[in-house]
Amino acid sequence: MDIIQLDIQGMTCASCVGHVEKALKNVDGTDMANVNLATEKATISYDPEKTDIQALLDSVSKSGYSARPAA
């Protein structure tokens, strides 16, 4: 598994966290997704043979938020 951290923008309440986590977990290949509202970061572990960073970013934007790889 690879682990990546993303910066998430647009989350304003605890339910937003749930939306983003659900979107990330629905990506085939995601092993674990944890989103922190206070730091606006998502930590995801994923199988690089099944998915990639771009698919993870796209799943977040499709759910109405924006994401970029954390510096």
Note the residues at the interface with ligand 9UX (CB under 6 A): 12-13, 15-16, 19
Q: Which is nearer to ligand 9UX, 15 or 45 (CB)?
A: 15
CB of 12 to ligand 9UX, least distance (A): 4
Q: Which is nearer to ligand 9UX, 4 or 16 (CB)?
A: 16
The closest alpha carbon to 66, from 48, 56, 34, 13, belongs to 56
Q: Taking a C-beta distance cutoff of 8 angstroms, is the pair 56, 35 a contact? A: no
Note the maximum CA span of the chain. Answer: 33
Q: Report the first-to-last Cα separation within the chain, whole angstroms.
A: 20
CB of 32 to ligand 9UX, least distance (A): 22
Q: Which is nearer to ligand 9UX, 19 or 70 (CB)?
A: 19
